[in-house]
């Protein structure tokens, strides 16, 4: 039986983070070649590439710089020839209080929006142009439950950036679906990553799990599996969906 993603080249941003690694491994397991984007962790990217038997490429770009995303796409296009999918996974979560001095507040918001939204939007722009030239393509944006239900006082920009990413996904789905360009978003609640472990270390496991009916955080592998599924060529009608991965902690 042919692997579902066989013959597809997919760019994954932030691939060296916990969720990005799981996405990369899942895509490779289903037959894709993966553009492994990293910001600083070149060794991690190369290790990841080896772990998928070299079926992909490592690509560096700083997504906090206004030209970073476009250059990344140009590099990915040059090395792969044809891209069939884009996974906007890179993200940051910056804490800044409403009491902070205005320059600190504004620089935190600028950076959050640049990495989580504007760079993702630039990559979507490049991907749409590429798919229009070369044939069908798919975009998967890693948003967050924070973008659906509002978020904590110390990280307002994070929730706002993820809400905008969800809206961008829906707009792409509506605007370009007829051209064979489809988009899906994932909205995870807590995922068991370094970020989650740091929260547990500070506040305890019970605080992290409170309000999650299934009593556990999502594993990164669950996200990887779902991204691979959303990229399957057979999943055309998933266009525009926002897939909740939160253990039942937010129902809508
Ligand atoms: P992580 O910090 O482990 O990974 C984030 C990735 O983004 C890293 O590879 C990092 O290098 C990259 N990145 C950040 N800033 C960058 C920059 N300026 N230039 C280039 N790359 C940059 O985090 P994670 O937990 O794996 O999160 C992955 C995605 O999932 C993020 O978009 C995050 O918002 C989202 N998410 C995470 C959780 C969670 O509980 N961990 C929950 C919901 C959504």
Partnered with residue 185 across adjacent β-strands are 141, 242
Contact 136, 84 (CB under 8 A): yes
- Angle CA 229–138–79, to nearest 5: 105
Partnered with residue 184 across adjacent β-strands are 140
Partnered with residue 138 across adjacent β-strands are 85, 182
pLDDT of residue 240: 98
CA distances from 98 to 102, 116, 144, 251 (A): 9, 20, 22, 29
- Of all protein residues, whose CA lies closest to atom 17 belonging to ligand 1? 63
DSSP H helices in the chain = 18-29, 42-51, 68-80, 102-113, 119-134, 146-149, 156-176, 194-203, 205-209, 220-231
Residue 89 CB less than 6 A away from ligand 1: yes
How many angstroms does the Cα of residue 136 sit away from the middle of ligand 1? 27
Contact 35, 13 (CB under 8 A): no
Mean pLDDT of the chain: 96
How many angstroms does the Cα of residue 201 sit away from the middle of ligand 1? 19
Which positions of the chain have pLDDT values less than 50?
A: none
CA distances from 77 to 13, 141, 153 (A): 14, 19, 40
How many angstroms does the Cα of residue 18 sit away from the middle of ligand 1? 8
If one residue of 25, 91, 114, 142 were mutated to test the ligand 1 pocket, choosing by the most ligand atoms within 8 A of its CB, it would be 91
- The DSSP secondary-structure symbol of 244 reads E
Place of tokens 């895509």: 27
Which atom in ligand 1 lies closest to the alpha carbon of residue 111?
18
What is the arrangement of strands in the sheet containing 85-88, beginning at the earlier edge strand?
56-60, 33-38, 9-12, 85-88, 137-142, 181-188, 242-245
Domains of the chain: 9-244 (3.40.50.720)
Give exposure, 154-190, as e/b (b: 16+ Cβ within 10 Å): ebbbbbbbbbbbbebbbebbeebeeeebbbbbbbbbb
Question: Tokens representing 2?
Answer: 């042919």
38 assigned to active site: no
pLDDT of residue 1: 77
Tally of CB atoms within 10 A around 61: 23
pLDDT of residue 87: 99
């Amino acid at each position: 039986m042919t692997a579902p993603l066989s013959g597809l080249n997919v760019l994954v941003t932030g691939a060296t983070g916990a969720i990005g690694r799981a996405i990369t491994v899942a895509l490779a397991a289903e037959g894709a070649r993966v553009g492994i984007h990293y910001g600083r962790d070149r060794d991690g990217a190369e290790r990841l590439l080896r772990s998928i038997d070299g079926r992909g490429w490592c690509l560096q770009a700083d997504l906090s710089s206004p030209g970073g995303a476009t250059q990344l796409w140009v590099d990915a296009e040059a090395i792969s020839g044809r891209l069939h999918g884009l996974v906007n996974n890179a993200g940051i979560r910056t804490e800044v209080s409403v009491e902070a001095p205005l320059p600190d507040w504004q620089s935190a918001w600028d950076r959050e929006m640049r990495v989580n939204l504007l760079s993702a939007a630039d990559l979507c722009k490049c991907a749409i142009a590429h798919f229009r030239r070369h044939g069908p393509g798919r975009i998967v944006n890693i948003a967050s439950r924070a973008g659906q239900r509002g978020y904590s006082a110390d990280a307002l920009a994070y929730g706002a950036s993820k809400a905008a990413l969800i809206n961008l996904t829906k707009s792409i789905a509506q605007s370009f679906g007829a051209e064979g360009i489809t988009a899906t978003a994932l909205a995870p609640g807590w995922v068991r990553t370094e970020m989650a472990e740091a929260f547990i270390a500070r506040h305890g496991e019970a605080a992290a799990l409170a309000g999650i009916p299934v009593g556990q955080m999502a594993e990164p592998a669950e996200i990887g599996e779902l991204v691979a599924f959303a990229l399957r060529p057979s999943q055309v009608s998933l266009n525009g969906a926002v897939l909740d991965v939160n253990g039942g902690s937010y129902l809508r």
